[in-house]
């Protein structure tokens, strides 16, 4: 059974793992069959199925030099949501994105991640193959 404290801790571990590039920690909080959906048609869009695919997506995001600013952690009975402000620069292109990453959590591990974006077109333009920082 989840508690709000467990959900908050799992959400914080997810963000900390992204920021520190700690893929072992990230894998430890993901169910092996977890799924992460992200809208758009960019390099990071679509459905990442399985812990290894989620880690590859996370690695792609950080390789583009994204800075993650936590605004709020929102808690629910069966999960948590991160309200984030992500920024990055690639040449003249500036990523300035507000998003919510919603996580379904079971027994302290993430089963499903859904990301909602404020500007899908910007994400599509920023995350293109061959353009990492």
Q: What is the rounded average pLDDT of the residues 62-68? A: 96
Residue-range domain boundaries for the chain:
4-126
Question: For the chain, what's the residue count?
Answer: 133
Q: Which CATH architecture has domain 4-126?
A: Roll (3.10)
What's the predicted TM-score (pTM) here?
Answer: 0.92
* Gap between the Cα atoms of 92 and 15, Å rounded: 27
pLDDT of residue 3: 81
- Looking at residue 125, the DSSP 8-state letter turns out to be H
Three-class SS of residue 127? Answer: coil
The pLDDT tens digits of the residues spanning 76-128 come to: 989 999 999 999 999 899 999 999 999 999 999 999 999 999 999 999 999 99
Nearest residue to 96 via CA among 71, 66, 72: 66
How large is the average pLDDT for residues 36-49?
A: 97
Percent of the chain with pLDDT over 90: 90
Helix/strand/coil for 14: helix
């Amino acid at each position: 059974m989840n508690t709000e404290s467990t959900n908050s801790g799992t959400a914080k571990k997810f963000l900390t793992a992204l920021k520190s590039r700690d893929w072992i920690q990230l894998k430890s909080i993901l169910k092996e069959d977890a799924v992460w959906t992200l809208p758009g048609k960019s390099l990071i869009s679509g459905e990442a199925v399985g812990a290894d695919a989620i880690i590859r997506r996370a690695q792609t995001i950080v390789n583009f030099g994204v800075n993650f600013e936590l605004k709020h952690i929102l808690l629910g009975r069966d999960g948590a949501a991160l309200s984030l402000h992500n920024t990055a620069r690639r040449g003249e292109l500036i990523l300035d994105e507000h998003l919510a990453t919603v996580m379904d959590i079971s027994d302290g591990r993430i089963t499903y991640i859904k990301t909602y974006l404020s500007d899908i077109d910007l994400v599509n333009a920023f995350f293109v193959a061959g353009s990492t920082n």
